[in-house]
Amino acid sequence: MQLNLFDIEDLNNVTVSGSPHKEDVTKQQAEADEIAALRKELEEQNYKYYVLSAPTMSDREFDEKMHRLEALESRHPELYNPSSPTQHVGSDIEQRQKTKEQKQKNKENEDSVKTASGKNFEQVLHRYPMLSLANTYSESEIREWLERVYKGLDGERNVEIVCELKFDGLGISLWYEQGRLVKALTRGDGVKGDNVVDNIRTIDSVPQVIYGKTSEDVPESFEIRGEVLLPWEHFEKLNQAREAAEEPLFANPRNAASGTLKLLDTDEVRRRGLWAFLYYVPGNEVPAETHYERLMWAKRLGFNVSEHIKVCRSVEEVMDYIHYWDTARRALPVATDGVVLKVNSLRQQQMLGFTAKTPRWAIAFKFEAEKQLTRLESVSFQVGRTGTVTPVANLEPVQLSGTIVKRATLNNEDFIRSLDLHTGDHVWVEKGGEIIPKITAVEHERRAAGAQPVTFIKKCPECGTPLMRNEGESAWYCPNDTQCPPQQKGKLVHFVSRKAMNIDGLGQETIDLLYEQGLLHDVADLYNLKAEQIAVLPGFGEKSAQKIIDGIEQSKLVPWARVLFAIGIRFVGETTAKQLAHKYKSIEALREADEERLMQTDDVGQEIAGSIISFFSRDDNKRMIERLQAAGLRFFDDETGDERLGNELDGQTIVISGTFTRHSRDEYKALIEAYGGKNSGSVSAKTSFILAGENMGPAKLEKAEKLGVKLLTEEEFLEIISQK
């Protein structure tokens, strides 16, 4: 990723005309330096927000810095640069080139990495620039904006304002031809965007085909824009699943929606349950005089247009709308972070025009994030699967955004120090668009005499091992990964998770129980379990115990790449495991690779290579691998034909769609390959058949019918390979 960063030295070479006083030169130089620093910082934040879906700065802080940069640039026109973030919108376009260091840096954001692995989205030019909106947090600035609108209309004050909720999601532009959805572009850089139409087709609220009452209702070609979101309910389920797998949590639904929309696996996109609201029809294809009329046209055709739209005819009506929704929005099923105001008349919009990056006829008012003052009672420390120790603030209970908050994340030791946090402090806790409460400030003047500063622990709270901290990292971790209980149980939970070995019936609670009963110590112990050992445990019987044993047996079909991911090498995530498994066809080949060879693999830098070498150098890991191999796990890639189960599917290309009861999708993919077939993610004339489960994707079904591709049920497929 080549960011549009600005070198401070370039700005330092600016010549100031005339003979200013020394203090003026010093001030001008300081402001030039500040401009350079702000440009760099804001571009980096744009990259984290739009591309990684993992911002590290709040919207309010970003907006304040952007306004500061705009003010400085207006004072220094001699420092104008067309690449400044004030002159363009942030870009969500997937980068075609990334250095190994950048890939490694982004490894914790698995969704972001997946989008650039092996396939890129088509980039398409927008028919009309897809700009961002000017925004404000001040009601007085709303009144000032209206005065600018009146001035831009030559004093005309007969102006209707359409008020709409500002949904906190990802901008999308949908293109229809002859009534059919043909493209779906992200905002991108405002000029071009990524075509994510296959993922958009998984969203039930986006029509694939539209029909009008008359031929005039549906133009031959038109575009409609809106927002893709993840509802709160779906967001919470997604984060619960990620937490169980010890994957990084999404901070808010917007980040989750953005990460989801750029996934390459359309079935995973469908499972997450995105929504879409449409709010703007550009161009002249739809005859209308107002923005509101166009929205009602879209609603009649079946587009999901918000019901909470109001045409206001005075500033008082606008303010009433803002005040009402500042509270009422908390009952909505989706995240909103403000109100968008648009001039209703299309004629007046045209008169007002655009700036370089925003329309003059619209503005966004952003709500203040809700925050409350409470007391820090204590700090506890949690140990994760990889040994990372995370501090958690235990708070005096306080109501925030409709829920009772008792705990808040403290991130790491550096974060605690930056707050100068003491036990008993009165702290401000904020939720806003974040589902995870966080402490944003401390009321130092209310600190009690003798209050003790919060210090990071030196030993693991679970096993007593001295903690370690690698150079350049912010996190402390427990190195005792063979005997520290949370790490051992975490490894087991990771091993059986859906993206790893996918062993049905083994969740966190069951793993905890089996561990406490002494039946499990490491992952290899799973393959020694007996049904009668489980059946006598609380909450189990013969049937449920046998289900777990069957799931363990079926896991022996899981392919090499997922087995590599499952064994839990530090820093080797799902995507990196796939890259390594593709290059090294067996665990023996991977074990023999030195650091230099490992670093020639995509996504593998020095840190990951060192972790792999360290993993295979340890005797306990060697013994675990030997036991898993003896149990029959696939520590090899058999795509050459070795260890195949049959040839019933030789030469056939098969697409899997829907949900199944007999096996998981990944198990069916493994079976297809084991019997000589080839898996494909899309339907084409080369598709031999579709293995169709419940809730098959409508786009695949439509294409199959068009191409005459046959559909097989689970039972029919298993009969072909004689596993019924």
Contact 454, 352 (CB under 8 A): no
Which strands make up the sheet holding 689-692, listed edge to edge?
Answer: 678-680, 653-657, 689-692, 710-712
**CA–CA gap between residue 425 and residue 723 (Å, rounded):** 64
Q: What does the block give as tokens for 73? A: 């640039």
Q: What does the block give as tokens for 67? A: 């306004």
Residue 339 CA, chain-centre distance (Å), reads: 24
Residue 552 CA, chain-centre distance (Å), reads: 31
Write a three-state SS string for 333-396.
CCCEEEEEEEECEHHHHHHHCECCCCECCEEEEECCCCEEEEEEEEEEEEECCCCEEEEEEEEE
Give the amino acid at 69. L
- Tell which residue, 614, 574, 620, has the closest CA to residue 107: 574
The CA radius of gyration of the chain, in Å to the nearest whole number, is 28
Catalytic: which of 98, 103, 166, 669?
A: 166
- Tell which residue, 4, 198, 195, 183, has the closest CA to residue 84: 4
Query: What is the DSSP code string of 160-191?
Result: -EEEEEEE-SEEEEEEEETTEEEEEEE-TTSS
Contact 411, 456 (CB under 8 A): no
**CA–CA gap between residue 171 and residue 194 (Å, rounded):** 11
DSSP letter at 307 equals S
Q: What does the block give as tokens for 471? A: 């150079």
Q: What does the block give as tokens for 384? A: 């994760």
489: region left, alpha or beta (phi > 0 left; psi from -120 to 50 alpha)? alpha
Which strands make up the sheet holding 362-366, listed edge to edge?
Answer: 135-136, 362-366, 336-343, 161-167, 310-312
**CA–CA gap between residue 416 and residue 396 (Å, rounded):** 18
Q: How many helices, marked H, and strands, marked E, lie in the chain?
A: 27, 20
**CA–CA gap between residue 38 and residue 85 (Å, rounded):** 9
Query: What is the DSSP code string of 464-475?
Result: -PBPB--TT---
Cα-based angle 626, 627, 631 (whole degrees, multiple of 5): 115
Write a three-state SS string for 241-305.
HHHHCCCCCCCCHHHHHHHHHCCCCHHHHHHHCCEEEEEECCCCCCCCCEHHHHHHHHHHCCCCC
**CA–CA gap between residue 240 and residue 498 (Å, rounded):** 13
**CA–CA gap between residue 208 and residue 698 (Å, rounded):** 9
Is position 166 annotated as part of the catalytic site? yes
The bridge status of strand 678-680 relative to strand 653-657 is parallel
For 270, counting Cβ atoms within 10 Å of its Cβ (0-12 exposed, 13-18 middle, 19+ buried), the class is buried
Residues 6+ apart with CB under 8 A from 213: none
* Backbone phi, psi, residue 402, to 5°: 85, 0
Give the amino acid at 611. S
The bridge status of strand 438-442 relative to strand 426-430 is antiparallel
Q: Which residues are marked as active site?
A: 166
